[in-house]
Amino acid sequence: MKLDPTKMKNWEIAEAAENNIKSIFQLAEEIGLQKDELLPAGHTLGKVHFAKVLDRLKNVPTAKYIDVTAITPTPFGEGKTTTTIGLIQGLAKCGKRPTGAIRQPSAGPTFNVKGGAAGGGLAQCLPLIPFSIRLTGDIDSVTNAHNLCMVALTARMQHERNYDDERLAKRNLRRLDIDPDSIQIGWAIDLCAQSLRNIRIGLGGKNNGFEMNSGFQITVSSEVMAILAISKNLGDFRQRIARIVVAKDRKGNDITAADLEVDGAMTAWMLDALNPNLLQTMEGQPLFVHAGPFANIAIGQSSVIADLVATKLGDYHVTESGFGSDIGYEKFWNLKCRISGLNPGAVVIVATVRALKMHGGGPPVRPGAPLSEEYAKEHLDLLEKGCENLIAHIEIVKKSGVRPIVCINSFSADTKAEHKLIKKIAEQHGAVAVVSEHWLKGGEGAVELAQAVIDTCEQKNNFKYLYDYELPLRKRIELIAKEVYGANGVSYSEIALEKLKTLEANPATQKFGLCMAKTHLSLSYDPEFKGRPIGWELPIRDVLVYKGAEFIVPLAGEIKLMPGTSSDPAFRRIDVDVNTGKVKGLL
């Protein structure tokens, strides 16, 4: 059966392609995994015992390391995962042994507007349905470990209110004297649920909990997910979980997961989730799926563990960073690479004609609404103006010391003149630029992109971090704002300024990494500012502290940790064929 992306939906292509999928045992054997290193979870996917692999292959050379990022996207995304998978398939066509790592999709966008994150056309991750829904339960584990911590906190607050010190002592508990106005975390759910952002819990009297204000965040923004993404081994993970700060006592001291004696149980719930998931591309290359998305409110990277394992199992390893280079690549560059010790040999910036026209003043691109006709016709004036956004992203990557490769992700409505203009502007600003047709042709359509990556990896680069951890936190924030986002400066709310001064005064927290939280729909803090905004200040309204992950999280603008569900969500079109049990309708 010929698979034609122009006539078939992504889920239909995936369903047809899965007739020829490799078994997980064949895939594992082909990449050199031993039997005790594979933890099968069915016929076509499984987990990999990372500790055994890393111990056995510790002296094996590390693969070339490639990151895929993007320009500032439309709400639909510009095809980073599709490009990541297409590039892996293209590298295989060039005779290389590639591996890949992508993030596990959150149920929030999967059942909302954006849809899943399996790629598209002839560059997809298989098997599609388990990848998109539940997988092996990692996100469920993060949700439950996070909420177990909240259960421990709220139960402890109730018992300390109801019991005197003698009754607490009989239960081998010391009074933590938790300040109810200092709670640092809420509850987690992996859905876009705006009605749960602010809630009140503990209603109904003293036997029904401690009454207080609370709220939910989407699971992938949890500190537990951040710790999963950056931990290098079980011991590292266990220590970080213990340091999660959940509240303060009435004297202002931290109350941690360890103080609540829930850190061990949280780790136990996450034990299997530490092992990365192994799936495959449509053309049979290994694809590790581990950790979550949302670089606007989280680190938004596939896990350090997945990269450490994958770079020992092939000669080229491709990973992806969430959203545009201003947030996803910036965190890859200054956080993930610093933690893993891996440095990229090449960085791919995904660009589309559609997004660049929008940045050039084209009509708004709204979730759930059809695209205006400007996006279906040639408009070189809009495109040229919009390339200011592309230039900004090229400059961001160049500041890390790596020459960027611009991948023009080809759409059917694009014209050759539009592609030629983007290529010309990208090359004028120091990037390599290629048109790629991986969506339409799979690996064959990405050979030119793959060859550009191979050539770039052979050249020596001067990869360097944007800042040193000795630089004060506010100086770092201002450096990111000016050098990455293009702001004139930074303004702080009173509460943000007070917190940052306290954090800078503490030698430990002063050296934490910065995990910025801001909109992904603009280089600025305001999603309505398209193109390359100038003459603006970055407003920091609050600062979160993740002591387990060792992240300082400045909140810029009106960014929220819980997205909302639209009026026309994807779940309206998802169903099950009752005769076959197959899921249909996934975006």
> pLDDT tens-digit profile of 83-99?
999 999 999 999 999 99
Segment 419-442 mean pLDDT: 98
Segment 353-373 mean pLDDT: 89
Known catalytic residue at 333: no
User: What is the residue-wise DSSP string for 541-584?
Assistant: EEEEEETTTTEEEEEETT--SS----SS-GGGG-EE-TTT--EE
User: How far is 485 from 400, CA to CA, in rounded Å?
Assistant: 14
The overall average pLDDT reported for the chain is 95
Band of residue 1 on the pLDDT scale cut at 50, 70, 90: low
Known catalytic residue at 175: no
Pick the catalytic residue from 47, 103, 336, 518: 103
Pick the catalytic residue from 11, 269, 294, 323: 323
Known catalytic residue at 519: no
Pick the catalytic residue from 47, 64, 114, 336: 114
Overall size of the chain counted in residues: 587
User: How far is 569 from 584, CA to CA, in rounded Å?
Assistant: 15
The residue assigned the tokens 């999709």 is 105
Peptide bond into 127 cis (omega under 30): yes
Which pair of tokens denotes residue 109?
């966008």
Q: What is the dihedral of CA 577, 582, 583, 586, to 10 degrees?
A: -120
Known catalytic residue at 187: no
Known catalytic residue at 295: yes
Label residues 238-263 b or e (16+ Cβ within 10 Å = b): bebbbbbbbbbeeeeebbbbbbbebb
Q: Which residue has the higher pLDDT, 364 or 474?
A: 474
Q: Are strands 575-576 and 583-584 parallel, antiparallel or unpaired?
A: antiparallel
Least confident of 353-367, 492-506, 556-570: 556-570
SS (H, E, C) 142-207: HHHHHHHHHHHHHHHHHHHHHCCHHHHHHCCCCCCCECHHHCCCCEEECCCCHHHCCEEECCCCHH
Which pair of tokens denotes residue 158?
């109730």
Known catalytic residue at 167: no
Q: What is the dihedral of CA 359, 435, 66, 6, to 10 degrees?
A: 90
Q: Which domains does the chain have, with CATH numbers?
A: 38-135+273-458 (3.40.50.300), 138-270 (3.30.1510.10), 473-556 (3.10.410.10)
Pick the catalytic residue from 74, 82, 136, 267: 82
**Is residue 358 within 8 Å of residue 386, measured between CB atoms?**
yes
Known catalytic residue at 366: no
User: How far is 451 from 447, CA to CA, in rounded Å?
Assistant: 6
* CA-to-CA separations, 165 to 208, 464, 518, in angstroms, rounded: 21, 54, 45
> pLDDT tens-digit profile of 278-288?
999 999 999 99
Pick the catalytic residue from 439, 512, 536, 551: 439
| 256 membership: H or E segment, kind and range | strand 254-256
User: How far is 220 from 401, CA to CA, in rounded Å?
Assistant: 30
User: How far is 231 from 205, CA to CA, in rounded Å?
Assistant: 41
Tell me if residue 434 falls in helix, strand or coil. strand
- pTM assigned to the model: 0.95
**Is residue 387 within 8 Å of residue 532, measured between CB atoms?**
no
Q: Using alpha carbons, select from 452, 431, 570 the residue that is nearest to residue 112.
A: 570
Helix and strand element counts for the chain (H, E)? 22, 24
Side chain identity, residue 154? T
User: How far is 53 from 308, CA to CA, in rounded Å?
Assistant: 10
Q: Please classify residue 469 by burial: count the beta carbons closer than 10 Å to its beta carbon, then call 0-12 exposed, 13-18 middle and 19+ buried.
A: middle
User: How far is 416 from 530, CA to CA, in rounded Å?
Assistant: 25
Known catalytic residue at 103: yes
Pick the catalytic residue from 80, 243, 499, 518: 80
Segment 529-542 mean pLDDT: 97
Pick the catalytic residue from 25, 76, 411, 529: 411
State CA 139 to chain mean position distance: 13
Q: Is 135 left (phi over 0), alpha (psi -120 to 50) or beta?
A: left
User: How far is 71 from 336, CA to CA, in rounded Å?
Assistant: 20
pLDDT of residue 115 exceeding 80, the answer is no
Q: Please classify residue 466 by burial: count the beta carbons closer than 10 Å to its beta carbon, then call 0-12 exposed, 13-18 middle and 19+ buried.
A: middle
> pLDDT tens-digit profile of 151-210?
999 999 999 999 999 999 999 999 999 999 999 999 999 999 999 999 999 999 989 999
Segment 98-120 mean pLDDT: 88
User: How far is 38 from 48, CA to CA, in rounded Å?
Assistant: 5
Q: Are strands 119-120 and 199-201 parallel, antiparallel or unpaired?
A: unpaired
Tell me if residue 147 falls in helix, strand or coil. helix
User: How far is 163 from 156, CA to CA, in rounded Å?
Assistant: 10
> pLDDT tens-digit profile of 449-496?
999 999 999 999 999 999 999 999 999 999 999 999 999 999 999 999
